[in-house]
Amino acid sequence: AMEALIANLDLLAKRDFVQLSRICGVDHEDIADMVHEIRALDPRPGSAFASDPVQAVVPDVLVTQRPDGSWAIELNPETLPRVLVNRTYYAEISKSCRKDADKTFLTDCLQTANWL
């Protein structure tokens, strides 16, 4: 009888218990019991085993094959740290430098920051 009920879930959705009891060959009380059993079931039985959502892994290195068959390996620019240089502040400080050694030091620091 339960198999017949499951095969006719559209009638259950319409709450046509008279038609269901006729198809299943049971009385109204048995249909009510079977519906109660179905309602007691977990609609998402696998959720008990699910963990946190999987987070995408972003690679540090990208490997691609070139048209000539060789391989290209490069750092993923999305994972590299970004260094921003305030050019206005650099200009202000470099103007206040009186010694050549200080200016050279600032220029070296700027070049190092730009390289990053």
pLDDT, residue 69, reads 95
Residue 75, domain member (yes or no): no
Q: Quick check: pTM over 0.85?
A: no
**Which pLDDT tens digit goes with each residue over 49-100?**
877 777 889 999 999 999 999 999 999 988 888 888 888 988 888 888 888 8
Residue listed under structure tokens 């049971």: 26
Residue 100, domain member (yes or no): yes
Residue 23, domain member (yes or no): yes
Domain coverage including residue 7: 2-43
Note the maximum CA span of the chain.
102
Cβ contacts of 62 within 8 Å, gap of 6 or more: 73, 74, 75, 76
Residue 7, domain member (yes or no): yes
Instruction: Give CA–CA dist 23/3, Å, rounded.
Output: 11
pLDDT, residue 23, reads 87
Instruction: Give CA–CA dist 35/13, Å, rounded.
Output: 11
Residue 50, domain member (yes or no): no
